[in-house]
Amino acid sequence: MQGNPWLLIAAALPLAGAVPAYVLGRRQARYAFVCMMIASAATFAVLTVLLVQTMRGQTLTFVWADACVMGLSLAADGFRAMYAWIAALMWLATTGFSFGYFRHKHSVPRYAFFTLVTLSAVVGVFLSDQLLTTIVFFEVMGLCSYPWVAHEETPQAMRAAQSYLWITVIGGLCLLLGMLLLPPELITAKFSAGFAAADYPAESLVLPAVLMLVGFGAKAGAFPLHVWLPKAHPVAPAPASALLSGMLLKTGVFGILLLSVKFLWQVPAWHVLIFWIGVVTMALGALLALFAVEMKRILACSSMSQIGFILLGVGLFGLLGDQGAVAAQGAVTHMVNHSLFKLILFLSAGVVAMHTHSLHLNDIRGFGRGKPMLHFIFLSGMLGITGVPLWSGFASKSLLHEGLTEYIGMLQGNAGLYTAAEWLFLLSGGLTVAYMLKLYICLFWERPAKAAAEKKLYLSRGSAVMLCGFAAVPWAFGLMPSVFMTEIGVLSEGFLQTEAESVRYFTAENLLGAGKSIGIGLVVYGLVVRGWMSQKAEGVRRTIDRWPAWLDLETMVYRPVLKALLAVVSAVCWAASSLPEAVITGVRRVILHVRAWRVPMPGSNRFTTALGGLLNGIKSLLNKTVRKSHPVDIDFACALAATNEEVNQSMRRLKRSMSYSLLLVCIGLFLLLGYLVLW
C-alpha cells in the first residue's frame, strides 16, 4: 500500500459500521440509526480534513496494488474530495431525519446496513483514480441500493425495484464489457496523472465508451434508460429518495464526465451525443413532472430534467473545447445545487408523508397552511431549482445558458438546431416553474378538502434546525455567486483540466433569460395546471391525472422486448436440454430393449421418467446377475419424481418473490465483483 491511507479509511468507515448497525438494530431500531450517525459523522470528519487539504492545492493519492486483480487506486483532488464530502454530509443529514421518519417503519436494520454499504461505495466512486476502481465501487453501489426501492415491499415497490434492478444489472454488464474492450493500459491509468486517451485511435474507443455510457447513463436517469427513476423514487422512503436523487444520480454523471474528459475529449461526435441526450432528458423530464400528480413522482421527474441540464453542460464543455470553462463551471455548480435542492425537497416530502400517509396532490392539499417553518424550507428549495434570481439555481443555470449562447455564436449561420435547443432550455426552465408552482400552491395555499386535527409538532427540533440550515444555503449562494460558484469552479479545475472564469451573473441577458422561463412557467401553470389538469366541484379544486396510462416506455417497449429475448433464450435452452433425454431414451431402447413409458405422479416429467427407467433397467440386470440374494429394491423413477417435485416447489416460491433469471444474473455479477475485490 502506498500513499495517504485516509482515502481508504474514508471509503471503509461506513462499511465497518454496517454490520453493527444491522446487529444492534435487530434489538432496537434506534440503535441502527445511532450506528449510522456515528459512521456517517466519522466519514464526514475524515473527508472534511481531506477537502481542506485539497483546497490548498494538494492532490492526495492511495494505491493498493494487491486488490481488485489490477490494483485499487484512490485520489482526492478538489472536485472529487468536494463531492465525496457532499455525499457524507447528505448521509449525515438524512440519518438525522430518519430517527423520526422510521419510527413506525419495518426492516430498519436492513435499511441501515445497505445504506451504510451504499455510502461506502459512493465515496469509493468519487475518490476512484482509475476506471477499474470506479466500476467496482459503482456496481456495488447499484446493487446495494436496490433494497431502498424495495423497502416497503408493496406490489408497486417490488415492481419498481425489479425495474431498478434490471436497469442496474444491464447497465453493469455493459460497463464491464466496455471496460474489457478498452486497451489494458487505459483500464488502470491514473486520472490524477492527467492522462488522456488521445494517443489511441478514436474508433477503438467509441464502442467501449458507448457501452459504458449505457451503464453510467442508466444510473444518471438519462433518456432512454430513465424508466426506473419516476417509479423508484415515489416508493422508496423519503431519506432514501433524497439520496437516490441527490447523490446516486450524480455518480452516473461523474462517470459520463470521466468518459468525456479523459477518454473522448478529441471526438466531437461524442460531445454532440451527450449534448442531445441532455436536451431530450431535460425536456422530457420536465414534461413528465408537469403531468405527475404525486409529490415524490413530481420531484423524481424533476431530477431527470435537472440531470438533463447537467448533461447539456457536459456536452457543451466538450464542444467548446478550450473555450468551455463557463459550461464546465455551470455543469459542476448545477450538480452541487441539485444535490442541495433535492435534499431539501425530498425531506420536505417526507414530512408531508409522515402526517398525511399519502403524497397525492388531492390528499396533501393545504397541509402546509399554518406551518411557517416548513413553508420557508420548501420555498427555498423551490426558488432555487426554478432559477429565480438571488437563489443559487439562477447562477448555475445562467452559466449553462451562457455556454449555450456562446456555442451558438461560434456556429454563426449553422446554429439552427442549437437555437432550437436554447428554446427548449428556456421552455424546460418554464416547465420547472410550472410544476414546482403546482406543488407549492397545493401544499401551502389551497384549502384542504376537509378539516383535520393537525399535530402541533410536525417536525422534530433537530430535523427543523438541520433543514432550516440547508434551506438557507441556496439563498446565501445566490446572493454571492461570485464567491461560492466561482470557488466550486476553482475546486474542479484539476479534474476537468480547465480554469475557472470570473463571471458576472446579474447581467441583463441572464436576468432576461430567467424572466423568459418564469413567464413561460406562469402561462403554462395557468393554462395547463389550473385549467386542463384541474376540476372544481363543490367548492373544491381537484387535480386530474391527464397522462395516458398506456404511454409508458417500459411497458410499451422494454418489458415486451425483454420477454421476447427471454423466450428465445428459453427456446434455445429447451432444445439443448432435450438432447440428454433423447440420448437416454435411445440407450434404453437399444441396450435394454425398454420402451418409453410415463409415470403419472407429481414431479415426474419426460426427463425424470426416461432417466428413472434407464436406472431401473440397470437395476433389473444387476438383480438378475450380481445381487440375486439381496436385490436392490428402489424405484428410481419414483425417487427422481419426488426429488424433482421438492425442487419445483422451492423454485415456485422463489419465482413468486423475485425474477429467477434476474436473480441468476445478479448472483453472477456479485461473484464477479467478489473475484475482483478479493483476488
In a domain, 15, yes or no: no
Name the domain count of the chain: 2
> Which of 563, 530, 518 is CA-nearest to residue 393?
518
Distance CA 312, CA 308 (A): 6
- Please give the pLDDT value at position 518: 94
Residue type, 459: L
| 224 and 315 assigned to the same domain | yes
Q: Per-residue pLDDT for 611 more than 60?
A: yes
**Whether residue 316 sits in one domain with residue 458:** yes
Query: Left (φ > 0), alpha (ψ -120 to 50) or beta: where does 223 sit?
Result: beta
**Least confident among 115-124, 515-524, 629-638:** 629-638
Q: Are residues 344 and 429 in the same domain?
A: yes
Asked whether 21 and 113 are in contact (CB, 8 A), the reply is: yes
Beta bridge partners of 128: 74
**Mean per-residue pLDDT, 255-260:** 92
Average pLDDT over residues 487-509: 85
- Please give the pLDDT value at position 592: 52
- Select from 474, 508, 543 the last residue of a domain: 543
* 3-class secondary structure, 500: coil
Q: Is residue 313 predicted with pLDDT exceeding 60?
A: yes
User: Running DSSP on this structure, what letter comes out for residue 447?
Assistant: P
Q: What is the pLDDT of residue 636?
A: 73
The share of the chain scoring above pLDDT 70, in percent, equals 86
**Interatomic CA distance for residues 125 and 137, integer angstroms:** 5
Residue 120 domain flag: no
Least confident of 192-201, 389-398, 463-472: 192-201
142, three cell numbers: 447499484
Give 387 or 627, the one with higher predicted confidence: 387
Is 119 domain-assigned? Answer: no
Write out the three cell numbers for 458: 410536525
SS3 call for 196: coil
Task: Specify the range with the lowest mean pLDDT, choosing from 134-148, 451-465, 592-606.
Answer: 592-606
> Residue 366: left if φ>0, alpha if ψ -120 to 50, beta else—which one?
left
Strand order in the sheet with 60-64: 2-3, 60-64, 72-76
Pairing, β 534-537 against β 2-3: unpaired
Same domain as 595, residue 524? no
Q: What is the 3-state secondary structure (H, E, C) of 539-551?
A: CEEEECCCCCCCC
**Separation of alpha carbons 336 and 141, rounded Å:** 20
Contact 71, 219 (CB under 8 A): no
In-domain check, residue 24:
no
User: What predicted TM-score, i.e. pTM, was given to this entire model?
Assistant: 0.84
Looking at residue 338, its amino acid is: H
- On whether residue 668 sits in a domain, the answer given is yes
Residue whose C-alpha is closest to residue 327's, from 260, 396, 271: 396
pLDDT tens, position by position, 317-346: 999 888 888 999 999 999 999 999 999 999
- The CA angle 269-272-275, to the nearest 5 degrees, is 155
Q: Give pLDDT, residue 426.
A: 94
Q: Do residues 270 and 366 both lie within one domain?
A: yes
For residue 444, tell me if it sits in a domain.
Answer: yes
Q: Write down which residue in 491, 515, 543 finishes a domain.
A: 543
Q: Name which of 192-201, 372-381, 417-426, 486-495 the model is least confident about.
A: 192-201
Same domain, 519 and 631: no
Backbone φ, ψ for residue 193 (5° rounding): -80, 0
Q: Would you state the pLDDT for residue 308? A: 95
- Same domain? For 373 and 500 the reply is yes
Structural domain including 221 reads: 145-543
pLDDT value at residue 378: 94
Clarify whether residues 196 and 309 are in a common domain: yes
Contact 345, 385 (CB under 8 A): yes
Q: Are residues 526 and 607 in the same domain?
A: no
pLDDT score of 665: 61
Window from 141-150, 173-182, 577-586 with minimum mean pLDDT: 577-586
Contact 332, 250 (CB under 8 A): no
Do 284 and 364 lie in a common domain? yes
Pull the grid cell for residue 303. Answer: 431530477
**Residue in 329, 317, 212 with CA at minimum distance from that of residue 259:** 212
160 and 260 part of one domain? yes
Cis peptide before 474 (omega within 30 of 0): no
pLDDT tens, 80-130? 999 999 999 999 999 988 888 888 778 889 999 999 999 999 999 999 988
Q: Of 492, 526, 543, which marks where a domain is finished? A: 543
**Alpha-carbon torsion (529, 532, 533, 536), positive or negative:** positive
Residue 68 C-alpha from the chain's centroid: 24
pLDDT digits (tens, 9 = 90+) for 409-447: 888 767 788 899 999 999 999 999 999 999 999 999 888
Q: 142 pLDDT exceeds 80?
A: yes
Residue 599 has pLDDT above 50, yes or no: no
| Burial label, 158 (beta-carbon count in 10 A; 0-12, 13-18, 19+) | middle
Answer yes or no: do 384 and 491 share one domain.
yes
Kind and range of the H or E run holding 61: strand 60-64
Residue 594 inside a domain? The answer is yes
- Give per-residue pLDDT as tens, 206-219: 888 999 999 999 99
Is residue 401 domain-resident? yes
Averaged pLDDT for residues 610-638: 72
pLDDT for the residue numbered 597? 47
Range of 153-157, 283-287, 354-358, 653-657 with top mean pLDDT: 283-287
Which element (helix H / strand E) includes 236?
none
Decide: 130 and 187 in contact? Cβ < 8 Å: yes
- Contact by Cβ (8 Å): 403, 327: yes
